[in-house]
Amino acid sequence: MKKIIVCILCLGFLFPLTGCSSGESGSNTSESESVTNSSSAQSGKATFENDTLTTKDAVFKLTGSEWGTDYDGKPMLLIFFDYTNNSDEAKTIQMAWLNYFNAEQNTGSTTERLNIAFPDMDFQYSDLRDMLQKDANPGATVSAIYYYEVPDTNYPVDLKISDGMFGKEIATKTYDFKGEN
């Protein structure tokens, strides 16, 4: 059942991407990051330390972030990462990301789950973007990028890290772009 739900969610993300080419990002961020680990990390299912999520089947190393704009000139958060597939079968990188990461923004009165952004035609990281649709072979490590629409640059974005799609949150990494409006 879980695999069916994951496939349905990923198909919902894949179809909009087929209509997009690439996009342009803005300057590097002067971000302020904070990481909060919850006691769930002790569960043995997954851990997050030093910007690295380690699970039974994968390792995600967050390697950087940047502020950019999407095809419509709206702000987006770009998160660079290395993905290592430790499972016995090839895994689609975007599906693997969606199993463990969600981004949210609390604006005081509401908390919004952030959507994938759509970079414009001349996106400078198109090679990393294209990796999302590829399968990483068992034992392979690949570099990729994920990007989120940011509704309001006056508030930080929290990257919620869990021990699986329906698992408990084990950590939060906060991206704060003060002064980058």
Give the whole-number percent of the chain exceeding pLDDT 70: 73
> Average pLDDT of 61-77?
94
pLDDT tens digits along 25-35: 443 444 444 45
Query: How high is the mean pLDDT of the chain?
Result: 81
**Nearest Cα to 81, choosing from 68, 100, 56, 105?**
100
Residue 23 pLDDT exceeds 70: no
Query: Residue 181: inside a domain, yes or no?
Result: no
> Average pLDDT of 142-152?
96
Query: Residue 152: inside a domain, yes or no?
Result: yes
Residue 121's pLDDT band, with cuts at 50, 70 and 90, is: confident
154 compared with 23, residue with greater pLDDT: 154
Cα(125)–Cα(81) distance, integer angstroms: 12
Question: For the domain that residue 116 is a member of, what is the CATH number?
Answer: 2.60.40.1240
Query: Residue 7: inside a domain, yes or no?
Result: yes
Q: Count the domains in the chain.
A: 1
Cα(41)–Cα(34) distance, integer angstroms: 17
Range of the domain at 31: 2-176
Give the pLDDT confidence score for residue 45 in this predicted structure: 78
Query: Residue 38: inside a domain, yes or no?
Result: yes
